[in-house]
């Protein structure tokens, strides 16, 4: 073996000098020397939990994309920021319910699309709404448009929305939410009928300036916007899934607005760093314990009722939600039509009654499996349920699943108990739609099938009398609870924090309406 004794080209001193210089260079000019704080440079930095990766409202997958869509597109009406659900005019200069199935509208004359696609016309409204319900579009958001028949164009900027039958959620979901976004007919047709990751023409107060996948979306003020001038020149939207990371970024001064974990609410109630503010909004989402009515172990209604009464909801609120959420009375949140003042089974457990019901059922040595998502809130709630059910002698085995496997539970023939949470839009129609007979085998995991419930669901979305509609949805929830398949837990909470420089504009459920965000 021959060893060549040659001197290394880089000596120790040279190496150390180089490394020191590199370290200093990395730290000083960009790091310690020039740290920019959020909002200080006219940029609003907000966090969402996911990446807005599709700019087509017809194929939007929810809130994350809607936050961007609502800023770069216009709707006839928009949600009004505040604590009560309401709407305000946006692209429409006028809109009125001419009859239960006809809505007349007139567009403002000062809204135009980018990329040379001209002024917004009633043709664009017709195209945008009708493509949502067209079979060829294959839009998952089609149900939001309900029984839309067509849009009649009666003038350059005037038209009539025609429904096949009355549809109350038109005002609360269809027009002010995802499906209400108006796109440019000419631009979409030029793009082959479908919008992808990049918008083909925008019209809102902001334009999407750039999108760095998994990193951020940058919105810049639309120089041609003729409406009220938006407060911020630039909005940067950061997709951060982990709430703890978002909280650290907020406390480091890198975010101006973020939702925070319910476990952090108590800390932020004491003090929010950097002069910020904590806002606590109720959520529309609903969480419940479901019981599979088709499972052999859960055929006995008395057993199911015993389970309903043995679950102590206030304990779950304390342990899993740190006291930041309130017990729910059903699937429809406070503030919406159909919310019940109280549930049939009170939130606090009644162990005596539960034990008596169990004895009446004749069931003994009951062991049940409880499926839940692998999120701390749910696993903690499941543990509380396990503990409280054990007090009447029911053994619960907790089965923690990752989200993909959990959301495929419709295929799980052995599903027994399930701790579940569904998202929600601000209309009760959306909530009851998942518990109909039609949804058995899909999203109705309890296999709940009740003809009266189905009839109420079909009738209530057509009902224009608010009092009647309210009573119908309350009755629907009574039926769910009476089946013994449901123990309603909570709607959760939407706690958010914002920096001192920001005046947030939020829906009553705490979701951000970015275009209306102001400066303090």
Partner 1 sequence: MFFYAARRFGLALLILFVAVTVMFLMIRAVPGDPVQIMLGPRATPELQARLTAELALDQPIIKQLMIFYGNMLQGDLGIDVFSGRSVTTIVFQQLPHTLWLIFASITWSASLGIALGAYAAAHPNTAIDRAAAAVSVSFVAAPAFVVALLSLLIFAVHLQWFPAIGAGEGFWDRLNHLVLPAFAIGLSWVGYIARLVRASMLEVMGESHVRTARAFGLSERRIVLIYALRIAILPVVTVIGVGMGFLLSSAVFAEIVFARPGLGKLVIDSITTRNYPIVMGSVLISTGLFVISTALADLINAWLDPRARAAR
- Applying CB under 8 A, the residues found at the interface with partner 1 are 1, 3, 5, 7-8, 11-12, 15-16, 19, 26-27, 29-32, 35, 51, 53-54, 61, 135, 138-143, 194, 196-197, 212-216, 238-242, 245-246, 248-249, 251-255, 273, 402-405, 407-408, 410-411, 434, 442-443
Interatomic CA distance for residues 456 and 185, integer angstroms? 37
Nearer to partner 1, 82 or 196 (CB): 196
- Asked if 93 and 122 count as a contact pair (C-beta separation under 8 A), the reply is no
User: Nearest distance from residue 31's CB to partner 1, in Å?
Assistant: 5
Nearer to partner 1, 261 or 384 (CB): 261
State which residue, 374 or 464, has the beta carbon closest to partner 1. Answer: 374
Find how far residue 46's CA is from the centre of its chain.
16
Return the number of the residue (83 or 442) whose C-beta is nearest partner 1: 442
End-to-end CA distance of the chain: 76
Q: Output the furthest CA–CA distance in the chain (Å, rounded).
A: 97
Cβ–Cβ under 8 Å, residues 161 and 129: yes
State the nearest-atom distance from the C-beta of 112 to partner 1, in Å.
26
Q: How far apart are CA 121 and CA 77, in angstroms?
A: 15
Q: Which is nearer to partner 1, 228 or 411 (CB)?
A: 411
CB of 196 to partner 1, least distance (A): 4
- State which H helix or E strand residue 406 sits in: helix 403-406
Instruction: Give the whole-angstrom CA distance, residue 23 versus residue 166.
Output: 68
Instruction: Tell the smallest beta-carbon distance from residue 221 to partner 1 (Å).
Output: 20
Nearer to partner 1, 197 or 387 (CB): 197
Q: Do 358 and 393 contact (CB within 8 A), yes or no?
A: yes
Q: Distance between alpha carbon 299 and the CA centroid of its chain, in Å?
A: 34
CA angle 142–146–148, rounded 5-degree value? 95
Write the DSSP string, 27-76: HIIIIIT-PPPTTTTSEEEEEESS------GGG--SHHHHHHHHHHSB-S
Question: Crossing angle, helix 376-390 and helix 313-321, to 10 degrees?
Answer: 150
Comparing CB distances to partner 1, the nearer of 170 and 394 is 170
Smallest distance from partner 1 to CB 76, Å = 22
Q: Smallest distance from the beta carbon of 35 to partner 1, in angstroms?
A: 6
**DSSP count for the chain of H helices, then E strands:** 14, 20
Task: Considering the complex, state which of residue 173 and residue 307 has its C-beta at the smaller distance from partner 1.
Answer: 173
Is the Cβ of residue 90 or residue 254 nearer to partner 1 in the bound state?
A: 254
Query: Please, what is the minimum distance in Å from the beta carbon of residue 42 to partner 1?
Result: 17
Residue 234 β-bridge partners: 43, 220
Residues 6+ apart with CB under 8 A from 80: 86, 87, 88
């Amino acid at each position: 073996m021959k060893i060549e004794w040659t001197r290394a080209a880089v000596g120790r001193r040279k190496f150390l000098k180089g490394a020191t210089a590199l370290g200093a260079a990395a730290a000083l000019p960009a790091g310690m020397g020039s740290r920019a704080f959020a909002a200080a440079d006219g940029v609003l930095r907000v966090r969402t939990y996911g990446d807005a990766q599709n700019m087509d409202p017809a194929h939007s997958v929810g809130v994350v994309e809607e936050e961007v869509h609502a800023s770069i597109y216009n709707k006839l009406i928009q949600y009004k920021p505040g604590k009560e659900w309401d709407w305000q005019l946006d692209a429409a200069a006028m809109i009125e319910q001419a009859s239960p199935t006809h809505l007349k509208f007139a567009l403002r004359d000062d809204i135009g699309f980018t990329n040379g696609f001209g002024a917004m016309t009633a043709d664009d409204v017709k195209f945008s709404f009708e493509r949502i319900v067209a079979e060829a579009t294959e839009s998952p958001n089609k149900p939001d448009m309900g029984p839309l028949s067509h849009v009649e164009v009666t003038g350059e900027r005037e038209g009539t929305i025609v429904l096949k039958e009355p549809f109350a959620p038109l005002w609360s979901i269809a027009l002010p939410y995802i499906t209400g976004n108006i796109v440019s007919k000419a631009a979409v047709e030029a793009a082959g009928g479908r919008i992808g990751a990049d918008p083909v023409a925008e019209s809102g107060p902001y334009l999407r300036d750039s999108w760095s996948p998994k990193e951020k979306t940058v919105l810049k003020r639309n120089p041609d916007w003729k409406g009220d001038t938006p407060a911020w020149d630039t909005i940067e939207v950061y997709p951060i899934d982990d709430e703890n990371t978002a909280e650290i970024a907020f406390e480091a001064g890198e975010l101006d607005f973020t939702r925070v974990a319910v476990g952090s609410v108590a800390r932020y109630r004491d003090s929010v760093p950097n002069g910020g503010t904590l806002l606590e909004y109720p959520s529309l989402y609903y969480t419940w314990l479901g019981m599979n009515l088709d499972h052999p172990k859960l055929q006995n209604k008395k057993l199911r009722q015993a389970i309903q009464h043995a679950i102590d909801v206030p304990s779950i609120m304390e342990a899993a939600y740190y006291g930041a959420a309130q017990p729910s009375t059903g699937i429809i949140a406070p503030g919406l039509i159909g919310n019940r003042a109280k549930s049939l089974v009170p939130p606090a457990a009644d162990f005596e009654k539960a034990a008596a019901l169990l004895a009446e059922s004749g069931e003994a040595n009951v062991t049940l499996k409880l499926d839940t998502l692998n999120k701390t809130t749910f696993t903690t709630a499941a543990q509380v349920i396990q503990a409280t059910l054990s007090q009447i002698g029911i053994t619960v085995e907790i089965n923690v699943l990752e989200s993909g496997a959990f959301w495929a539970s419709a295929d799980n023939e052995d599903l027994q108990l399930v701790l579940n949470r569904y998202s929600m839009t601000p209309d009760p129609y959306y909530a009851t739609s998942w518990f109909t007979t039609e949804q058995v085998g899909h999203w109705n995991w309890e296999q709940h099938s009740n003809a009266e419930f189905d009839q109420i669901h079909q009738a209530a979305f057509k009902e224009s009398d608010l009092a009647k509609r309210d009573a119908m949805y309350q009755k629907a929830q009574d039926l769910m609870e009476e089946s013994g398949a449901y123990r309603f837990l909570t709607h959760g909470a939407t706690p958010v924090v914002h920096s001192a420089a920001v005046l947030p504009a939020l829906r009553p459920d705490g979701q951000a309406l970015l275009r209306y965000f102001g400066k303090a």
